[in-house]
């Protein structure tokens, strides 16, 4: 026998609510909260920031890998790399006074300082993307898309750009980043209204007349006809509790599809592993073994030696003053100040020199063609314009090559 009294539902009696007729049936027709459903979870600010950093790292790693592969097979320019393009653009657009300040302050470590600054900037922006995605993945995706657009502009405006194909690494990396960002946050990002409604459903407040949230208000606005139809269907099936049967509204709580903490962190870990793997593969290409083998096999032709006054040589110069440093600077100690963010990693067979601009005839020389020209030796001292008196940005070496006038 049904345990209702005066048409009241037992759950209404326990919650202090009573009613009759269709109103009571409408209350009863609402599904009971699923106590076994997964707990509603949303990442904290630090966790979201970490996830944003990992996702951005994956996007950059994928872009770098594609750029390296494209450069390896001579399909793309090396500056199709978004990081290299941004760094090169920054160097190009930096005022001269700031360049001189960086050289004077950091010396040969100016590139390291620039890379550290770029790294910090990327970390901050990536963290912001993650925090924004915690509430709105769409806005975070837009921010990430804007960063991809900036990278694309930097890539395509480089003088060495070969065309729109150089945009492929940045675009693919951006698509991967947006997809993974949505995968992580689309089931954890909840606006305030939705969050309150889901918490009410989880805690049973939606069925006991707690907070007047949007979800409970919609349920109370259900028509009497719908409620009676659902109740009759339940009675015909042999039960007096219509909550055990689906109504026109889904009986599955919306928070049942929420991404739990363990799964969220697991996906972040997988993303980090993928980023690390892409970075590792990129470091192995092109193979440094091929470059080293090419350099070791290289033999310079005989060069016309330079002439010194009678009785004078490089050895006598070193012996002229006791205790002075060697006149010639060892290769490993020679200073390096330039605008390149990375050292060239290229074989002699792939190297070429393009002579163009204000010349009558444009010409491109391979390394082998350069070696076949007449070679001369010259001992030359080079110094950086930012070198101070007694500074280290100076060096002397014996150079072997051919005068450009003879090429």
pLDDT in tens, 322-365: 777 888 999 989 998 887 777 777 888 888 898 888 888 899 99
Q: Hey, what are 340's tokens?
A: 């390149």
pLDDT of residue 202: 67
Which residues have CB under 8 Å from 292's CB, separation 6+? none
pLDDT score of 366 more than 60: yes
Q: What is the pLDDT at residue 173?
A: 96
Distance CA 21, CA 6 (A): 10
Stretch 240-255: mean pLDDT:
42
Output the pLDDT for position 40.
61
Residue whose structure tokens are 């949303």: 42
Q: Which residue has the higher pLDDT, 103 or 37?
A: 103
Three-state SS at 366: strand
Give me the pLDDT at residue 103, please: 80
Give the pLDDT band of residue 407 (cuts 50, 70, 90): low
Name the more confident of 92 and 314. Answer: 92
Q: From the centroid of its chain, how far is CA 149?
A: 13
User: So what's the pLDDT on residue 359?
Assistant: 87
pLDDT given for residue 125 in this prediction: 96
pLDDT at 250 over 50: no
Judged against a pLDDT cut of 50, whether residue 249 lies above it is answered with no
Which of 106-110, 146-150, 156-160 is predicted most confidently? Answer: 146-150
* Predicted local confidence at residue 140, as pLDDT: 96
CA distances in angstroms from 130 to 55, 136, 277, 308, listed in the order given: 8, 10, 22, 66
Model confidence over 165-219: pLDDT tens digits?
Answer: 999 999 999 999 999 999 999 878 666 676 677 667 767 654 444 444 444 444 4
Write down the pLDDT at residue 287: 57
pLDDT of residue 13: 42
Q: Please give the mean pLDDT across all residues of the chain.
A: 77
- If one counts every other C-beta atom within 10 angstroms of the C-beta of residue 93, the result is 9
pLDDT recorded at residue 195? 65
- The pLDDT assigned to 9 comes to 46
Question: Residues 53, 181: contact at Cβ < 8 Å?
Answer: no
pLDDT above 90: percentage of residues in the chain: 32
Please state the rounded mean pLDDT for residues 24-36: 49
- Residue 383, pLDDT score: 92
| H-type alpha helices, 73-156 | 82-93, 96-106, 110-135, 137-156
The alpha carbon torsion through 52, 78, 337, 379 (nearest 10 deg) reads: 160
User: Is residue 250 within 8 Å of 34, Cβ to Cβ?
Assistant: no
Q: Name which residue leads in pLDDT, 308 or 89.
A: 89
Write the pLDDT tens digit of every residue in 253-293.
444 456 788 899 999 999 999 999 999 988 777 556 677 78
Whether residue 22 has pLDDT greater than 70: no
Q: How confident is the model at residue 8 (pLDDT cuts 50, 70, 90)?
A: very low
Neighbour count for residue 276 (Cβ, 10 Å): 13
Q: Tokens 């009863």, residue?
A: 28
Q: What's the pLDDT band for 239 if we cut at 50, 70, 90? A: very low
Lowest mean per-residue pLDDT among 58-62, 169-173, 232-236, 297-301 = 232-236
pLDDT reported for residue 23: 46
CB 51 within 8 A of CB 43: yes
Domain boundaries, the chain: 10-41+190-252, 45-188+260-285, 314-406
Topology annotation, domain 314-406: Sulfite Oxidase; Chain A, domain 2 (3.90.420)
What's the confidence (pLDDT) of residue 303?
84
């Amino acid at each position: 026998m049904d345990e209702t009294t005066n048409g009241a539902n037992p759950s209404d009696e326990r919650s202090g609510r009573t009613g009759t007729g269709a109103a009571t049936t409408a209350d009863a027709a609402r599904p009971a909260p699923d106590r076994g459903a997964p707990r509603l979870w949303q990442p904290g600010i630090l966790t979201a920031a970490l996830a944003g950093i990992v996702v951005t790292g994956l996007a950059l790693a994928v872009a770098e890998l594609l750029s390296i592969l494209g450069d390896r097979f001579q399909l793309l320019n090396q500056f199709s790399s978004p990081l290299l393009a941004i760094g090169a653009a920054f160097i190009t657009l930096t005022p001269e006074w700031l360049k001189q300040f960086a050289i004077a302050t950091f010396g040969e470590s100016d590139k390291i300082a620039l890379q550290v600054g770029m790294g910090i900037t990327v970390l901050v922006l990536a963290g912001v993307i993650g925090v924004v995605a915690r509430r709105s993945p769409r806005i975070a995706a837009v921010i990430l898309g804007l960063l991809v657009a900036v990278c694309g502009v930097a890539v395509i405006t480089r003088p060495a750009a070969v065309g729109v194909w150089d945009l492929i690494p940045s675009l693919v990396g951006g698509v991967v980043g947006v997809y993974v960002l949505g995968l992580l946050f689309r089931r954890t990002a909840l606006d305030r209204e939705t969050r309150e409604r889901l918490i009410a459903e989880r805690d049973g407040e939606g069925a006991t007349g707690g907070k007047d949230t949007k979800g409970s208000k919609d349920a109370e606005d259900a028509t009497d006809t719908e409620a009676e139809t659902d109740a009759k269907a339940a009675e015909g099936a042999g039960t007096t509790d219509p909550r055990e049967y689906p109504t026109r509204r889904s009986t599955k709580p919306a928070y049942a599809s929420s991404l739990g903490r363990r799964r969220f962190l697991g996906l972040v870990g997988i993303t980090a592993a993928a980023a690390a793997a892409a970075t590792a593969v990129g470091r192995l290409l092109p193979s440094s073994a091929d470059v080293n083998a090419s350099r070791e096999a290289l033999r310079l032709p005989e060069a016309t030696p330079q002439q010194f006054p009678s009785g004078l040589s490089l050895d006598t110069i070193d012996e002229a003053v006791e205790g002075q440093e060697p006149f010639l600077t060892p290769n490993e100690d020679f200073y390096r100040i330039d605008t390149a963010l990375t050292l060239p990693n290229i074989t002699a067979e792939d190297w070429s020199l393009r002579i163009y601009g204000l010349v009558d005839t444009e010409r491109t020389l391979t390394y082998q063609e350069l070696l076949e020209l007449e070679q001369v030796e010259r001992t030359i001292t080079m110094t950086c314009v930012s070198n101070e008196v007694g500074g280290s940005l100076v060096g002397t070496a014996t150079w072997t090559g051919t005068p450009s006038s003879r090429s």
